[in-house]
Amino acid sequence: MQFSYEVNDSYAEVKSVGRLNMVAAPKLREVVNEVVAGGSSRVVVNLAETDFMDSSGLGALIGCLKAARQAGGDLRIAGVQPQVKMVLELTNMDRVLTAYPTAEAAFGDD
Amino acid sequence: MTRFWTRLIVVLTVILGVNYVAWRWMASLNWEAWWIAVPLVIAETYSLIDVMLFGLTVWNIKFRKPPPPAPADATVDVFITTYNEPLDLVMTTALAAKNITWPHSTWILDDGDRPEMRELAESNGIGYVTRGAEWTPDMPRHAKAGNLNNALMVTSGEYLLILDADQIPEPDILDKTLGYFNDDKVALVQTPQYFINVPADDPLGSQAPLFYGPIQQGKDGWNAAFFCGSNAILRREALMQLGLVGYVKATEKSVRRALAASRTAIKKARRSPEAENPLVEQMLNQVEAATESAQKELEAGASLSEITYRVRRQVDDAVRTLVAADFSALQSDLEEIAAMELAHVGESGVTTVASDAVDRMSGRDWSPLGALESVHAVLDAISVERTDEAQPIMPLATISVTEDMATAMRLHGLGWKSVYHHEILALGLAPEDVKTMLTQRLRWAQGTMQVLLRENPLVQRRLTWGQRLMYFSTMWTYLSGFAAVVYFAAPIIYLTLGILPVNSISFDFFIRFIPFMVVNQLLFLVAGHGIPTWRGQQYSLALFPTWIKACTTAARNVWFGRPLGFAVTPKARQSGGPSWSLIRPQIIVAVLLAVALVVGLIRLLAGMSEPLGTLVNVAWVAFDLVVLSVLVKAVLYKGFEPEVVGPERPEERNANAV
């Protein structure tokens, strides 16, 4: 699992590659906290290359959402793959998070 | 074979029990003394249902074979929960945990946040976790559940072994249990709680051989083995899933509630004097429109993060517009604002308001108008951050002081399986004095009743009927305090006043009652393989004040939000002499029983009562007194003497009978 991020004009994009599971979850939280602390509170987590996510990964996303919101911004997810989509539905998390097709689209209307 | 005999006796018990109680209801009630006749028959019906639920439990008794080996790369975190236990006690457990053979990380979860504990842990290479900064003083702490939830966020093992501070694990505890998780649907493996500081006669009724035996094995047969808070292994994925589902539920509920409350708040704001200002009115209209469209989006199924984000943005914009308009209208204030360093003179020489001034003045902490304060407060609640909890994801249930039962029930509700592994793999310490023992029993009973009142298992649609009844069965047993009062009162009333709750004590009575009683005792004997159950039977009656108190305090807590008066069970023995005052109600009952005995005999000699009725009631009183006598022993108990050896070696108790 690896994370990288890129800050552009209107948002920061965090790329998550590989398995976002209980081992990677704390790392994701760390990266997003770093991004938010750096002044970019509008964050897109790009999951296009995340082929597996578990409940701990989703839990970390919620933690990150809270951090971004408290900094006055938002956290959105994009590029969800079938397995991740299934996990979102299984936990009803699709009631909370909208999955945007691409990182560009995530803050497209805003 | 055991299963066959058990089932046969269960069937007999039900037939004979229904035969007796039905006769009691239909043909035996002494309506002239309805005030004791009806309570007694209700108490007897209660007991019949209790034994039927026990019968149902052991009907499916499951004797498991050892599981297959677990995959070698399974990762485990061992959690030792502590609050105020002595450091050496915690360290003994922690070092034993460190010696568990399966590769793992050991963590002390110190809710007492003690620097000495941290130091000891670190110097022994053991992880140390205490509540993070997000657990601010205004957040609910949720005791042990909160402690575990906090640790779940900072660790990453696939499986979690949970140990109370006094539960010393065997090195092979994980080797013997992890294999059950090869079944992907297994979320929990519970092993027994066994106490090494208990003498053979167990004066405080600490061992629970019936529960950590036929009852758990029976529940296991219904896929309803309980989580008992310690000596259990849990699958992280299952807990996290529980946390997520709970988060979504709580968030949706709070957003709905906040949207409803904001309508009320806006209505109220419209009635305030400031609302006459057209700017304010316009702003209120915008806020109202925002919440109304949010409500529509919610019904249409839009995601909660989108809805809450939009509301927040629209409201912020509206407030900003208002404040900005206010500024332009108040030119004369500019100088003053300049003095506040919020404004500066622009390049054109015209004084302008710095753009960030508006931002600052419309910030959440600054309410431009008194009337908006309430609106603001409500709008803050339209969020997905679960601001009323320290962390949004709370995997272990927090609806009860006994988080374990509620958590297991929710796991079962999500379709997970549980396993009861009948082998002692951790050795613990039981309370050594009556006061601590009573505190502990009260806490268990309160927690169980909280779950019953908050999430009644009988109406949990996602549980099977077997599971519902297994949870309900345990809750039902805690109602025994009320029945006990009646069982004490009835013979006292007969012996002193001569009032019989039944028409007559006759052949009809004995022919129905005695077979039921015999088969009832036989059931416990066969289902329990002869394990001692008498101590447990005594305590279920003798602690009636505790059970009643648990029911009333839990009901007040759940229905009226009153505190439980909850206390952590102290692990160290409480000092002081015998504390008779703790069992005052039982002493009063015992005195009344003794007086009734004497009066009853006098009445018999005076020819005022019939011999048979007196005999039955004297026997009944004698039984009650023997039951209560356990408390004399308990109060006089001076704590465990190490030279006295416990009932058997724990290894020999491990009846993994197949």
Q: Which residue of A has its CA nearest to B302?
A: A95
Q: Which residue of B has its CA nearest to A24?
A: B156
Are B247 and A96 a contacting pair at CB < 8 A? Answer: yes
Q: Count the neighbouring beta carbons within 10 Å of the beta carbon of residue B628.
A: 20
Q: Count the neighbouring beta carbons within 10 Å of the beta carbon of residue B252.
A: 16
Chain A neighbors of B240, CB-CB under 8 A? 22, 54-56, 58-59
Closest-CA distance, B237 to chain A, in angstroms, reads 6
Are B156 and A26 a contacting pair at CB < 8 A? Answer: yes
Chain B neighbors of A61, CB-CB under 8 A? none
Closest-CA distance, A52 to chain B, in angstroms, reads 13
Which amino acid belongs to residue B247?
Answer: Y
Are A62 and B305 a contacting pair at CB < 8 A? Answer: no
Going through B120-212 in order, the beta strands assigned E by DSSP cover: 127-129, 159-164, 168-169, 186-190, 194-195
Closest-CA distance, B303 to chain A, in angstroms, reads 5
Nearest to A25 among B156, B305, B313 (CB): B156
Locate B531 and state its tokens: 């394990």
Which own/partner contact pairs does B620-624 have at CB distance under 8 Å and 24+ positions apart? Answer: B620/B490, B620/B491, B621/B491, B621/B492, B621/B495, B621/B593, B621/B596, B621/B597, B624/B487, B624/B488, B624/B491, B624/B541, B624/B589, B624/B593
Are B385 and A25 a contacting pair at CB < 8 A? Answer: no
| Interface membership of A83 toward B (CB under 8 Å) | no
Judge contact between B92 and B120, C-beta under 8 A.
no
Are B385 and A94 a contacting pair at CB < 8 A? Answer: no
Give the Å distances, CA to CA, from A36 to A72, B153, B288, B330, B392.
Answer: 10, 19, 31, 36, 18
| Interface membership of A70 toward B (CB under 8 Å) | yes
Q: Which residue of A has its CA nearest to B249?
A: A92
How many structural domains compose chain A? 1
Domain that holds residue A51: 1-106
Are A22 and B249 a contacting pair at CB < 8 A? Answer: no
Those residues of chain B whose CB sits closer than 8 Å to some CB in chain A are: 153-154, 156-158, 236-237, 240-241, 243-245, 247-249, 251-252, 302-306, 309, 313, 383-386, 391-393
Residue B379 has a pLDDT of: 74
Which amino acid belongs to residue B237?
Answer: E
What is d(CA B149, CA B151) in angstroms, rounded to the nearest whole number? 5
What is d(CA B658, CA B646) in angstroms, rounded to the nearest whole number? 25
Are B243 and A55 a contacting pair at CB < 8 A? Answer: yes
Give the Å distances, CA to CA, from B449 to A6, B225, B425, B476, B491.
Answer: 52, 18, 29, 9, 29
Q: Which residue of A has its CA nearest to B154?
A: A26
Chain B neighbors of A23, CB-CB under 8 A? 156
Residues with Cβ < 8 Å from B337, sequence gap 6 or more?
B327, B343, B353, B357
Q: β-strands B417-420, B127-129: how paired?
A: unpaired
DSSP letters for B619-641: HHHHHHHHHHHHHHHHHH-----
Q: Count the neighbouring beta carbons within 10 Å of the beta carbon of residue B1.
A: 5
Judge contact between B207 and B188, C-beta under 8 A.
no
Residue B328 has a pLDDT of: 61
Nearest to A96 among B153, B243, B384 (CB): B384
Chain B neighbors of A95, CB-CB under 8 A? 248, 252, 303-304
Closest-CA distance, A86 to chain B, in angstroms, reads 13
Name the percent of chain B in helix, strand, coil, to the closest 5: 60, 10, 35
Locate B147 and state its tokens: 């402690």
DSSP letters for B382-393: SSSS-TTSSSS-
What is d(CA B25, CA B38) in angstroms, rounded to the nearest whole number? 9
Chain A neighbors of B153, CB-CB under 8 A? 59, 63
What is d(CA B379, CA B125) in angstroms, rounded to the nearest whole number? 47
| Interface membership of A2 toward B (CB under 8 Å) | no
Chain B neighbors of A98, CB-CB under 8 A? 302-303, 305-306
Are A59 and B243 a contacting pair at CB < 8 A? Answer: yes
Give the Å distances, CA to CA, from B583 to B577, B592, B631.
Answer: 14, 14, 8
Chain A neighbors of B243, CB-CB under 8 A? 55, 59
Are B153 and A59 a contacting pair at CB < 8 A? Answer: yes
Give the Å distances, CA to CA, from B309 to A59, A85, B249, B289, B369.
Answer: 19, 22, 18, 15, 23
Are A96 and B304 a contacting pair at CB < 8 A? Answer: yes
Q: Which residues of B171-184 are buried (b: 16+ CB within 10 A; e: fewer)?
A: eebbbbbbbbbeee
Residues with Cβ < 8 Å from B91, sequence gap 6 or more?
B120, B124
Q: Which residue of B has its CA nearest to A21?
A: B156
Q: Which residue of B has its CA nearest to A69?
A: B385
What is d(CA B172, CA B161) in angstroms, rounded to the nearest whole number? 12
What is d(CA B245, CA B367) in angstroms, rounded to the nearest whole number? 35
Judge contact between A4 and A16, C-beta under 8 A.
no
What is d(CA B138, CA B156) in angstroms, rounded to the nearest whole number? 28
What is d(CA B609, CA B56) in angstroms, rounded to the nearest whole number? 41
What is d(CA B243, CA B182) in angstroms, rounded to the nearest whole number? 23
The burial class, CB within 10 Å (0-12 / 13-18 / 19+), for A12 is: buried
| Interface membership of A76 toward B (CB under 8 Å) | yes
- Which residue reads 């026997």 in tokens? B619
pTM of the model: 0.88
| Interface membership of A65 toward B (CB under 8 Å) | yes
Going through B310-424 in order, the beta strands assigned E by DSSP cover: 343-345, 351-353, 417-420
Are B240 and A65 a contacting pair at CB < 8 A? Answer: no
Residue A109 has a pLDDT of: 74
Are B248 and A92 a contacting pair at CB < 8 A? Answer: yes
Q: What is the average pLDDT value for chain A, to the nearest integer?
A: 92
Beta bridge partners of B81: B109, B164
Would the pLDDT of A78 be above 70?
yes
Nearest to A97 among B156, B241, B303 (CB): B303
Closest-CA distance, B305 to chain A, in angstroms, reads 5
Which stretches within B230-302 are classed as H helix?
Answer: 236-270, 278-300
Locate B63 and state its tokens: 């004797």
The CATH number assigned to the domain holding A59 equals 3.30.750.24
Chain B neighbors of A43, CB-CB under 8 A? none
Closest-CA distance, A6 to chain B, in angstroms, reads 23
Q: What is the CA radius of gyration of chain A?
A: 12
- Which tens digits make up the pLDDT trace of A22-66? 999 989 999 999 999 999 999 999 999 999 999 999 999 999 999
| Interface membership of A19 toward B (CB under 8 Å) | no
Name the percent of chain A in helix, strand, coil, to the closest 5: 40, 30, 30
What is d(CA B34, CA B78) in angstroms, rounded to the nearest whole number? 57
Nearest to B248 among A54, A66, A95 (CB): A95
What is d(CA B454, CA B516) in angstroms, rounded to the nearest whole number? 35
How many contacts (CB atoms, under 8 Å) link A and B? 81
| Interface membership of A110 toward B (CB under 8 Å) | yes
Low-confidence ranges of chain B (pLDDT < 70): 1, 326-375, 377-378, 566-576, 643-658
Judge contact between B130 and B118, C-beta under 8 A.
yes
Are B236 and A56 a contacting pair at CB < 8 A? Answer: yes
Q: What is the CA radius of gyration of chain B?
A: 31
Judge contact between A1 and A21, C-beta under 8 A.
yes
What is d(CA B32, CA B43) in angstroms, rounded to the nearest whole number? 18
